[in-house]
Each structure stands twice: as structure tokens, then as C-alpha cells.
Structure 1
Amino acid sequence: MKILWILPYLPWPMTSGGKTRQFHLLRTLSERGHRITLLVQSKTEANAATRATLEPWLERLIVEPRRPLKHPVTLLAGLFAPWPLLTTVNGVSRPLRERFDSLLQEPWDVIQVEHSYSLQPYLQPLLRAGRDFVLTEHNLESSLGGATYDRFPAWASLFVRYDQWRCRQWERKAFDSARQVVAVTESDAQAMRQLTRTPVEVVVNGVDSRSFAEVSADPQSQRVLFVGNYEYAPNLDAVQWMLDEIFPRVWSHCPEARLAVAGYALPANWPERWTDSRIEWVGFVPDLPDLQRRCALFIAPLRQGGGSKLKVLEAMAAGLPLVSTAQGASGLAIRPEEHYLAGDNAQALADAVIRLLSEPTLAAQLAGAARLYARQHHDWAVAGDELEQIYRTLPSTQEHPACV
């Protein structure tokens, strides 16, 4: 199939779950013979390393720059436009719309748009041309609440409520305009079906099982791992909760335990705020398996967010025993005491960490079951199969395919 894939960010380097999903789905589809043009509006340039990584999987990589966050257009539209602020940040771009108009002159089997908040520059051209498109929504943004608006000051509460209302209206419009909506979990899909008559199907988040197959936990290390993108508010909350409430309880019973905090955009002031020498401020690591094999277990103390967590899937695929909240395990058909240990308050999570550090046999048993689950149900090959099945139902692929 000939696919036009549209993104509001470059999928390399893989500094977030969303980027990881994009990279692996693009690679999976390309390996299966699909011809993909990737259109990206990005706040960062596509440097030589990024192009060298992405272009082998693509027919074309087209990158349009995103204007600065505090540009007057963004500030004015953010206040007065009918769509939410996040859509304004990623929309209202004449160069992008003009580039898209020219691309619409070509035959496409599938037009794939990622995130409703990126749709604004493309929606009217798509409707005018009568072109179907598939819309993937990684989270139901209007339901995230604090996860989206935590950084707004208290005096902006009226604007926050207004923007949440705009978000709900925009989601309905985006979903209703699509030929097919894709969610990443069944619970998200059920919520989206309440907003639209457009069919909503699930394409799961995945994991590159081969990359993690040779990794195993090191129970002797007593090192607990957390990985996140710290541009995302739920990960900030998770680390703060760990260090303020969870790990003081862990250290009272296991003083030798260590906590490795890894991931992109680690706040510079954290090492000054939390000075305990047992905290390892790792930051972004390009080789995650190398770090994982030096850890005893993975913790996912998430209280906010949506979808399913790729960092959790990667930990499971690497054979790391897992401690998680219900939110951290959301979207995954895993069961406490069979695949992981659960807790939804600081004491329960601390007790679970202590238990796994103290009971290596139990830790290995849970890790083995979780690894098998990840490989069988969430390998990227599974996600690729699900997405291809959706594409095969589209009228554009049945009536006049652009590429056979």
C-alpha cells in the first residue's frame, strides 16, 4: 500500500513512548513492503543522524518546522480559536497546509494521521478533497485533566476549564471526520465510542521483543529502575511521589536499595532537591537494555495518564520484575501476583518493592510470566497485523489501490 503518514514530531530519537510507537510501526510496515511518505511538523530539525535512521524505511521524509511556542499566532489563536491550545501549538500553519495540499494530488491507499491535536492543518483539505483518513489517538486528551494542565497556575483555572471544553468539542469533530479511529487500549476505545459513530478499533502498543530477549534482571544489584519522558507531567508526578513518599519507606527496610531515574528531559534541579546518594540520576540512555540488565526490578508509580505504557512493556520484555499502580498497568491484560505486584498508595508500593527485593524466586517467577505475555501479545508484529487489518477494510484499498 502507498501510505501518507502524518506526525507532529520526529519519531527519532525514541525519547518518548509515542515516538517509540511511531518508529516501530513505520519500520514494521516498511519491512512488509508498504511504501510510506512521512510528513512531519517538528519543533526540532531532522539532523543527519535522524535522516540516516528514518530514511531507509521511507520513500520520502518531509519535515516542516513548527513555529516557536510563544509565537504571536500561537498566543492569539490559543485564546480565541475554536480548538484547544495543544491543537493551536501544532496547527495554524500555512506552509504545512500548502505542502499537504500538494501531497493530496497524489494517489494514496491510506492517509494516516497521528493525534487529533495535529489534525487542524489537514482537516479542511481532506474534507474538500473528499479523502478518507485514519486517525490514531494515543490518549483521550480531554480525559487527562491534571496530566495536561498541571503546569498552569491557579489563576488560569477559568482558561483551563474553557480549554478542556474546546478539547472535547475538537475530539468529537476529529473523530466524526475520520473514516476510522484507532485507539491503543480497549478502555480508551470504549470511551471514544461514546463520542462518535465512527468505528474505533485497537492497535496495541508494542515492544521489540528481539531487542530485549537477551536481557535479564540482576537481583543482587538492589537497583530499582524508573524510565520516563519528563516533558510529560505524569512522569514528573511519579518521580516526585517516589522520592517524597515511596522510597523513604523502602529505605527504612532495605537501606541498600538504589533508585535509578532514567529518561529524556530530566529536570536539572532534581539532584539538588533530592540529594540522597542512593538516587542515581541517569537521564536519557540510548541503550536501554544495558541499563536494564544492571537493575533488579522496574517500578511504574503512575497516577495520571492514559493508554498503555511502553516503558512498562519494555521492562516486561526485558525480564524485569514489575511493581506498578493500576494506572501504570493500564491497557495491559496482566494480573497482580501473576505478572506483577500492584499498589495504589505509597505504603503498598513500598511493600511491593521490598517484597521483590527480598524474594528473588517470586521476582523471577513474575518476570518470566510478564515477559511471555509481552512477547505473545504486544510484539510490534502483533500491532502491525492489527493495523494492516484496519487498512484492508478501507474503501480506498479495496476499490482503487495505488500500490499492489
Structure 2
Amino acid sequence: MPKILFISAHAPTNLYPQAGQKIALHNLEKYHSANNRNSIDTTVDIVVIANKEEINAATDLVKKYGDRLFTYSLSKSNKIISCLRYLSVPLKFSTRYQTTVAQTIKKLLKQNNYDIIHFEYSHAAVYLNLIKNHIDFQYTRIIISIHDIVFQSFLRKSEKQPILGIEVARLFKFEKNLYSHANELWVLSKKDCNILTSLFAIPEQKIIIKPPQLSNFIYKVERNTEKVEKKSLLFWAAMNRTENEQAAIKFIQNCFVNLLKIDSNYKLYIVGSNPSAKIKKLASENIIVTGFIENPIQFFEKAQIGIVPLLQGAGIKLKTLEMLQAGLPVIATSIGAEGVETSKNIFVNDNFDDWVNIITNLAQAK
């Protein structure tokens, strides 16, 4: 009977409106589906360290794995305490290191001989150093599922915030050490694979590319000219993420206001959960802020053009893949198009003045 310890830095669930949590659940469920085809029982112990709202939302996770599920809610205060307590660990990683979690992991390792220890998200692997002292690497495989290369994300931020340069250097050293000790590294795109091999000198044979699974509703979208609202734009994103909020605001300030000067009929649909007060204040006749939508098919069928105006972040963008799969032409920044294969339907440009021309040309197309 294979035994797996699955440690995740966010709640694996389909019920929290962010892409990463859905990817995490998909990866978790693969362990069962792969072995069930061969009639092999699999034991999976799951440790989740996440924000309280994620854990509360993850009723699907509790229902399926409740008897072997260990959840630990994070608050701002215990994140700060962890950062101060573990000063040698980069901030992104130290926030996930909790003493109670470490105690649970040590207890599980004493009680079980695991075949696989799987870290979902890079910062979940902050416990790898602890685990190394309690396992035999000859019998236990270490897998890290990398959603974003944290070093890359902070490197971009440091361009505008030079003070982050010290943290960038710490992240490079820390991540390289983590990834070097894993047997397998799962990434979402060829681009991330290339970063691991070129920057961190990770052997390519250790890396497995696992493109993200798209939302089920995408395959039910039926676009036709009768449904499409001319001069309508869709920004599809979890609006409680800082980089998505920033993207929406910058797009409106630097592009959308200029589009309205050309033609007051342009509309922007900002579709996604938990929009901030800043985003809600932008709502008008031309800017529709929906908040959480259980079934967003109508917006994918209505919008003429998809936009991904991201200026921060790292890793493949599920929002971009989903709009392309639905058949929308998509305009994206280079960050918004990361990891996405070139196609005739994606227009990559980092100059919002150019976006005005691209959008007006697409809006006039028949």
C-alpha cells in the first residue's frame, strides 16, 4: 500500500476562487486516480497551512479526506512571528513555517514510512530541511510542485523596489538548495522548466511539465457573433490578488480612459471574486465589476476581447489559457502571456499606448 504525505501551502480545493488551489486539488487527486486504476489502495496524509478563509471554503477537501487531513490556519500575527523567528529563511517561505505544523509532521514521520513526500507550492517545502533528518532518501521520493518560481517574482518587484535586492539574493540561494534536494520537480510550463535548468542548474530529467487543467465551464462556452457585445473587454481574475488589482487599475488609467475618448461605447467587465474597495469604486456605466460569479460562461460568450494587463507575478497564467480556449482574442503583457504558446489569437505588448491601437483594430474586425 503506497503511503504519501502531501504538504500544501494553500488549501487544495475547487471551492476557493483562485486557480492555484484547483491545481493543488488536481495534483492531490492524481495519487488516488493513478492507483485506483490498478486496484491499489493509497494512503494519503494531508497537511495544509493556509489562510483561514481558504480552509473554511475547502469543504470538498474535508469531505473526502477529513480523517487524514490536518489543517493549520494562518493569521497576519503568526506570519509576522514566524518571519522574526526564522530570520535566515526568506520571508515568503518563513511565513509558512509554524511550530505546530513541524510537530505534526515529525509525528507523522515517526508513525509512517512514506513512499512519497509531496510539497504543493514551493513555500510548502520550507519543511524539507526538517524532513531530511527523518527519512531515508533511498526509499522516499521528494516531489515539489512549483506554481511560481518565487525568485523570479521578487526579481521583477526589485526593479521598482531596489530594497528587495537582498531578499532576491536570499531567495535564489534558498530555492536552488530546495530544488536540488528533490527527486522530481513539477512545473506548469516549458518556460519554468528552462528557468530551473538555466538559473538553478537543475538537471532537466528531474523536471516534469504538467500544464494546468482548465476550468470545466470553459468547454461549455459557445461563442457566436450574435452573442458577442461589440467593444466589450473581459478581465477574468481573482480580484483579491494584489497583482490583479494593480493590473485592472493600471489598464483603466493608461488605456481604457483613452479608449473611451475615442468611443464612449467601450465596456470593461472585471469578473472575479473579492474585488477590493479600490476596484469597486471604479464601477460605472462602462466598467462593470461583478464580484464572484458561479457560472461566468455568459461573460466569455459576450466579451469581444480578453485582456491580461499584468505587471507583476510569475508562472503560467490560467486566466490567459482559459480565455484563449474559449475563443477570445487576448491582449496580454509579456507577464500575462508567460508560458503560453504563440498563436494567432494572442497579442503580446507591454505598451498601453499600443494596446489602444490593438483594441480598436480588433473591435472593428468582423
- Answer whether TM exceeds 0.5 for this pair: yes
Q: CA deviation at 1:210?
A: 4.7
Shift in Å, 1:83: 1.2
Which residue identity lines up with residue 165 of structure 1 in the other structure?
A
- Alignment match of 1:294 (pick from 299, 302, 324): 302
Q: Which has the higher contact order (CA 8 A, sep 6+)?
A: 1
Note the 1:231-270 alignment, pairs <5 A.
231-270=240-279
Shift of 1:246: 1.2
TM-fit CA distance, 1:297:
2.4
Q: Which residue of 2 aligns with 1:174?
A: 178
Question: For 1:345, which of 351, 355, 366 is the aligned residue?
Answer: 351
Q: How far, CA to CA, are the matches of 1:89 and 1:294 in structure 2?
A: 41
Relative to structure 1, is the Cα distance of residues 328 and 125 closer, same or farther in structure 2, using a 3 angstrom cutoff?
A: same
> Which range moved further: 218-227 or 29-38?
29-38
Give a deviation string over 1:76-123, Cα, whole Å, max 9, x none.
236xx21111111111x2211121122223233322102232222342
The equivalent of 1:229 in structure 2 is: 238
Write the distance in 1 (CA, Å) between the matches of 2:80 and 2:191. Answer: 38
Which secondary structure does the structure 1 equivalent of 2:70 belong to? strand
Q: Which residue of 2 aligns with 1:110?
A: 116
| Aligned residue identity for 1:167 | L
Cα separation, partners in 2 of 1:3 and 1:128, compared to 1, 3 Å: closer
Q: CA deviation at 1:299?
A: 0.7
Q: Counterpart of 1:162?
A: 166
Distance (whole Å) between structure 2 residues aligned to residue 317 and residue 325 of structure 1: 18
Offset of residue 276 of structure 1 = 4.1
Match of 1:185 in 2: 189
Do 1:303 and 1:327's aligned partners in 2 also have CA atoms closer than 8 Å? yes
What residue is the counterpart of 1:124 in the other structure? 130
Contact 1:11/1:20, CA 8 A, preserved across alignment: yes
**RMSD between superposed Cα atoms in Å:** 2.9
Distance change >3 Å, CA 96–CA 226, structure 1 → 2: same
In the other structure, the counterpart of 1:8 is 9
Q: CA deviation at 1:209?
A: 6.5
Does the 8 A contact of 1:146 with 1:304 survive in 2?
no
For the residue of structure 1 that corresponds to 2:312, the secondary structure is coil
2:106 matched residue in structure 1: 101
2:39 paired residue number: none
- Size of the aligned set, in residue pairs, is 349
Cα deviation 1:339-377 (Å, max 9, x = unaligned): 3233221122222222222214xxxxxxxxxxxxxxxxx
What is the deviation of 1:330? 1.5
Deviation at 1:279, TM superposition (A): 0.5
Change (3 A) 1:67 1:332: same
The CA distance in 1 between the partners of 2:33 and 2:261, in whole Å, is 51
Task: Give 1:302 shift.
Answer: 1.9
Shift of residue 29, structure 1, vs aligned partner? 4.5
User: Could you tell me how far 1:278 is from its partner in structure 2?
Assistant: 0.4
Determine the C-alpha separation between the residues in 2 that align with 1:57 and 1:293: 36
Asked if 1 retains the 8 angstrom alpha-carbon contact of 2:158 and 2:165, the reply is no
Q: Distance in 2 between matches of 1:206 and 1:346?
A: 28
- TM-score between the two structures when normalised by the length of structure 2: 0.84
Deviation at 1:247, TM superposition (A): 0.9
1:329–1:26 distance in 2 versus 1, CA, 3 Å: same
Q: 1:21 aligns with which of 12, 23, 32?
A: 23
Q: Which residue of 1 aligns with 2:213?
A: 207
**Cα separation, partners in 2 of 1:140 and 1:45, compared to 1, 3 Å:** closer
Instruction: Tell which deviates more after alignment, 51-60 or 313-322.
Output: 51-60
The answer to whether the Cα contact below 8 Å between 1:219 and 1:295 also exists between their aligned partners in 2 is: yes
Alpha-carbon separation, structure 1, partners of 2:215 and 2:244: 24
Q: Which AA in structure 1 matches 2:346? A: Y
Structure 1 unmatched runs, 5+: 361-404
Contact 2:179/2:185, CA 8 A, preserved across alignment:
yes
1:220 is matched by which residue type in structure 2? Answer: E
Measure the CA separation in 2 of the matches of 1:296 and 1:246. 17
Q: Deviations over 1:190-236 (max 9, x none)?
A: 22123144554242332347532221343235421112234434323
Q: Using the alignment, how far apart are the partners of 1:237 and 1:45 within structure 2?
A: 22
Alpha-carbon distance change, 353 to 313 in structure 1, aligned in 2, over 3 angstroms: same
5 Å-filtered alignment, 1:297-312, equals: 297-312=305-320
Distance 1:342 1:259 in 2: 19
Contact preservation (8 Å) 1:39, 1:63: yes
Which amino acid in the other structure matches residue 19 of structure 1?
Q
The range that moved more, 81-90 or 320-329, is 320-329
1:237 and 1:26 map into 2 onto residues whose CA distance is 31
Aligned residue type for 2:252: L
Instruction: Using the TM superposition, give the Cα deviation of residue 28 of structure 1 relative to its aligned residue in structure 2, in angstroms.
Output: 4.6
